[in-house]
Structure 1
Amino acid sequence: MDVLLSVLRDILTPQGGWSAEFLVRVILSVLLLYALAVLIARSFGSRTFASFTSFDFLINVAAGSLVASSIMGRNLAEGALALLCLALLQGLTSWLSARFARFHDLVDNPPVVLIEHGRLREEAMRRVRVSRQSLEQQLRRQGVDDVTRVRLAVLESGGTVSVMTGEGEGRPGTFPRRAG
């Protein structure tokens, strides 16, 4: 029992012990990094911390790690500078991605057609690791209870499934560039 209490005390005690300086440093770090994150999100647009494409997810994970390390570390300026550089990199990547299709394809997953004209595309589903049960769940969320009514179901780059139902002539106007 003594060993357990000793380990618990070590886990709950910050390096260097509890002090007023430690508490003030953590509180000020949180406030300053929170303000910086809000400023970055407002400056670079909602996509910086909201829409999760593969690259955006990576940026968000890295940003979270930087914020946590900066709050608990000794140097707030390094973490703030790194967070700002990360946001600038994400902004540049978004800008390039919006202007150049090849760059977009390099940094983002292409959309993949999972259902076309009521037929499951099993090979595409296997390649992107989407099970039939998972796809059916996505269809139910969008009010679709019969796969044969689906004209097109696309796994988007952010992981959501877009579904178009109804009768349509030929290919929809928003058919993915790369049908997967």
Structure 2
Amino acid sequence: MHRWFSIDWQAIFVPSMSVVELIVRGSLVYLALFSVLRFLPSRQMGTLGIPDLLVVVLFAEAAQNAMASTYTSITEGAILVGTVIFWSYLLNWLGYKIPKFQEFLNPPPLLLVKNGRLILRHLERELITEEELMSQLRQQGVEFLADVKKAYLEADGSISIIASDTKSSSLPQQKADKTVV
């Protein structure tokens, strides 16, 4: 019964490993995960699907083990959370202050459609099928590919559309000319 109410304050607040080691571990894991996520294709199309959710959960589990091994104190957890927040803030601050760094953090929009024509090499690079692209166009009120002046894949995975001045809604849908621009 005595054990139920006894608290080991030292185990709660005193780190079991070096604070510097915690910061180094947190920094390395954060930067590694950032790099992996930055260079993966942006195929999520502005949504979080089941595979994306699994990646986040598995990354969190792997990162927890890599960052802290088997930390037990609240202080160690707070140091790791602080390290991740620090890197997130620092990278965003650098992107704000240095435009070239912002281009690294957030890739520029990728042109997917130009004047009603698909740019296949860009779709292939981002692993986007024509059906997925057409679904996104319909969700934004565009029925025909010929009605799209330009469509871009944005850094966040969403697709932005610039419609052409002429609408071809009265014409039957034609298969897009799949030229490479």
Match of 1:103 in 2: 101
* 1:93 corresponds to: 91
By how many angstroms is 1:68 displaced?
7.0
- Partners of 1:63 and 1:86 within 8 A in 2: no
Q: SS of the counterpart of 2:157?
A: coil
The one of 124, 127, 135 aligned to 1:126: 124
Higher RCO (CA-CA < 8 Å; seq separation 6+): 2
Q: How far 1:106 moved relative to its partner?
A: 2.3
State the partner residue of 2:73. 75
Number of residues of Structure 1 aligned to a counterpart in Structure 2: 117
- Structure 2 residue 109 is matched with structure 1 residue 141: no
Match of 2:164 in 1: 166
Distance 1:101 1:61, change over 3 A: farther
Residues 100/114 of structure 1: CA separation in 2 closer, same or farther (3 Å cut): same
Per the TM alignment, residue 109 of structure 1 is displaced from its structure 2 partner at its CA by 2.8
CA spacing shift, 1:92–1:154, aligned 2, 3 Å? same
Cα gap change, 1:121 to 1:137, in 2 (>3 Å): same
Unmatched segments (≥5 aa) in structure 1 = 1-18, 22-52, 169-179
Kindly provide the amino acid, as one letter, of the partner of residue 144 in structure 2: D
SS of the residue corresponding to residue 135 of structure 2 reads helix
Q: Distance in 2 between matches of 1:89 and 1:137?
A: 36
Structure 1 residue matching 2:143: 3-state secondary structure: coil
CA RMSD after TM alignment: 3.6
Q: Quick one: percent identity of the two aligned structures?
A: 25
Q: Which amino acid aligns with 2:151?
A: A
1:98 CA drift (Å): 2.2
Structure 2 unaligned spans of 5+? 6-36, 40-51, 167-180
Match of 1:133, as an amino acid?
E
- Report which of the two has the higher share of helix: 1
Superposition deviation, residue 102 in structure 1: 1.7
**Which residue type is aligned with residue 114 of structure 2?**
E
Deviations 1:119-167 (A, max 9, x none): 1111111122211111111111111111111111110111111112132
TM-score (norm 2): 0.52
* SS of 1:89 mapped into structure 2: helix
User: How far apart, in 2, do the equivalents of 1:102 and 1:67 lie?
Assistant: 28
Q: Which runs of 4+ in 1 moved over 6 A?
A: 60-63, 66-70
